[in-house]
Structure formats: C-alpha cells, structure tokens
Amino acid sequence: MQSVRMAPIIDGLLVVLSMLNNVQFVMSHPTHPGNIGAAARAMKNMGLSQLSLINPKQFPCAEATQRASGAQDILANAGVYDSLDQAIAGSRLVVGTSARSRTLPWPMLEPRELAEKIAQEPSTHPVAILFGTENSGLTNSELQLCHYHVAIPANPNYSSLNIASAMQLIAYELRMAALKFEHLETASEAEVDPGELPATAEQMDQMIKHFEQVLESTGYLDPVKPKMLELRLRRLFGKAQVTDSEFRMLRGILASIKKFE
C-alpha cells in the first residue's frame, strides 16, 4: 500500500507561535482603505494580529472591511494614532521597510534574517515593523527611528511592491521563522534581567532629546546647522542596541554634565 504523507498539524495549540503576538505592523498614513483591509487579511493568514494605523486617510471604511474578508477582527482591534511615536513607544525593536535605502547608510536586513532574529529573541519583546504611505514610503524621520531597515529584494528595476503585498511577504517570513524555531526555548521578558532589556523607542527618544539639550549648551550642537546629529546619534544607539541599564547610565552622565556647567 502506498504510504500517505500526513500533513503536519501546524495550527491550533500544538505550535506555540507566541512570537507572532508581539509583532506589531504599523501602517503610516495609509491612503487607500482597500490596502488596510488587504493588509489585515494578509496578517491574519499568517497568524499576526496587531495592526496600528497612523493617521489613515479613511478608517473605518466599508472598502477596508470588504477587502479584509474574514479578518475584520484585526481591523476592529487596530490601534489608530496621530503620531508614530505613540504607536511604537513601548517597542524594543523597531524596523522600517523600504524598497530603497535613503539618508545615511543604515543597518540592513533581508526579510528572512529579520524574521529569524525576531524568532530567537525573548518571545515577549514588543517589535514594531513600519510600512510607509503608498506613494512615497516612509519619511526619513520615520526611517531614522528604526534599528534596522528591511528591503524585500525585488526586481531592481521595479522594486516597489503594493503595501499589502509587502506586508504579506514579511508576515510569511515571520511565520516561517516562528515555525522553524518553535522548539527554541526563548526566555519570556519576565525571565530577563530588566536592566538587560533593550531600551524602548520612548527611552531612545528621551535620550536623544537629552543629548541634544546638553550638546547645545556645551556648544557642540548648533541648532542652525545640526549636521544630522540626531540621525547620527540614533544610528549609533540603534546599532549599539542600548539596554535599559545603559540608557539609565547615559542619562546620568548627561545630567552630571549639565550640573557641572
């Protein structure tokens, strides 16, 4: 008798895909409600559930609901924010997707590398993956909030995908990585020394502002000619993956400089 290959049961509770619950997809200024619906469907197909919308042109909207098909729950639970900072405040890893690299050269990852990196980090780390507005993509100031940039290696002569298609591909890679590393025992955030957790986007923001204040008073920063200081500092601290305790140390150092003046 011919043996029948049994399909593995990969859904349901047999596989713990908790990592997927901690990844937030953020759409910045989406202009077409159909894309929001298609994105929700793409996410739900891959087991993702956290969608955030920054200033959507139209939302809620019948077209979005229709395109979401059976994924209306993702739309119903979507966070709607006025600013990106609010949406990503608690995120410990922020990633920007872009068809092309802009501004200063930035640490880049391929979608698969990103997904495998996330799958191997503590499963409860909040991660935000940012997607730009349909016409112009993420702005330079949005891209500079990110630890990494991810480009889907598409046809170099025609590399810009529809946003929901780009979200589908990233979501697929996340799911594949979650399945590949399902047996890996990643620590939960509660088990990690709190000082060793990566600084959140909100802490990073506070630290950059603090640096700017102090460096302006020491004369290093000329606000008229900032020479991309903010961008360079963000890239530096992002690459260093500053931890919570390092964040506190740097804030303390800055405060001591201020007192010394």
Residue 131 is a binding residue for ligand SAH (CB under 6 A): yes
Question: In terms of CB distance, is 23 or 242 closer to ligand SAH?
Answer: 23
Q: For 68, phi and psi rounded to 5 degrees?
A: -70, -15
Question: In terms of CB distance, is 128 or 229 closer to ligand SAH?
Answer: 128
Smallest separation (angstroms) from ligand SAH to the CB of 163: 4
Smallest separation (angstroms) from ligand SAH to the CB of 232: 22
Residue whose pair of structure tokens reads 């140390």 in the numeric block: 249
Residue 35 is a binding residue for ligand SAH (CB under 6 A): no
Smallest separation (angstroms) from ligand SAH to the CB of 19: 20
Helical H segments across the chain, by residue range: 18-21, 33-45, 62-68, 72-76, 84-88, 111-120, 140-143, 163-180, 201-218, 229-240, 244-260
Alpha-carbon distance of 6 to 244, in angstroms, equals: 47
Residue 134 is a binding residue for ligand SAH (CB under 6 A): yes
Question: In terms of CB distance, is 148 or 237 closer to ligand SAH?
Answer: 148
Residue 154 is a binding residue for ligand SAH (CB under 6 A): yes
Choices 77-85, 126-134, 215-223, 246-254 (CB under 6 A): range interacting with ligand SAH:
126-134
Alpha-carbon distance of 98 to 159, in angstroms, equals: 10
Contacts 24+ apart (CB under 8 A), 251-260: 251/206, 251/207, 251/210, 254/210, 254/211, 254/214, 257/214, 257/218, 258/213, 258/214, 258/217
Smallest separation (angstroms) from ligand SAH to the CB of 169: 8
What are the residues binding ligand SAH (CB under 6 A)?
97-100, 131-132, 134, 136-138, 150-152, 154, 159-161, 163, 166
